[in-house]
Amino acid sequence: MKKEFLLLMAATAALSGCLSLDDNGSGGGYGVTGAPARDLSVASVARVAVRHAELPTPGGKVLTAGVLFVKRGDIILGACWDFVDTVYTRAGFPRNKRSSVYRAAETGPFADPALLRPGDWVMYRNLPYGEIGHSAIFVEWIDFEKRSALTIEYVGGNRTVPGRFREADLTKIFGIVRGTE
């Protein structure tokens, strides 16, 4: 039942326009599975969400909450940090149930990207947007060698837009937080 419910949620998000791996919806590049051609079909993205949300880990719980946010189009006014903080709290990981896996200044030194696990809160330099600091929830690698990852995020800036799936360049990671039980 949980699998069908999550599949429906991801499909609804994709059909509602909430689901995009880039700002113009063009795709291109590498697939979620690492294949040369990106498969952005509803079924493909739903499989990614279901696979990770079923993990019996804190990250699986975070991803379940994150997928719900995307599906419902929940609006959290504030910054990207506020969005991820709210998802973590609603997943059952308030601030006292989180651990820092890696923390440095925004200028580095940067984390080994192999440290990331599905559901981790990742803080990184958003290279396409002036290298500003940004927060998102890591889902999985699209292309590890190119540091291209699928994330759940919010654009920030107090904009009234919901969270979304997005392809992110995680070349410069300066923080990783994980829920603890």
Q: What is the mean pLDDT of residues 27-38?
A: 37
- At 38 the pLDDT is 54
Q: What is the mean pLDDT of residues 108-117?
A: 96
Q: What is the mean pLDDT of residues 59-74?
A: 89
The CA-atom distances, in angstroms, between 31 and each of 5, 140, 141, 143 are 24, 11, 9, 8
Q: What is the mean pLDDT of residues 65-92?
A: 91
- At 21 the pLDDT is 37
Q: What is the mean pLDDT of residues 83-88?
A: 96
Report the number of distinct structural domains present in the chain.
1
- At 163 the pLDDT is 87
Q: What is the mean pLDDT of residues 151-171?
A: 89
Q: Whole-prediction pTM value?
A: 0.76
- At 39 the pLDDT is 54
The CA-atom distances, in angstroms, between 175 and each of 15, 23, 24, 109 are 32, 24, 28, 10
Across 15-24, 33-42, 83-92, 158-167, the highest mean pLDDT is recorded for 83-92
- At 119 the pLDDT is 94
- At 19 the pLDDT is 36
What single letter denotes the amino acid at residue 81? W
pLDDT at position 88 over 50: yes
CATH number of domain containing 11: 3.90.1720
Q: What SS3 state is found at 27? A: coil
Q: What is the residue range of 37's domain?
A: 2-179
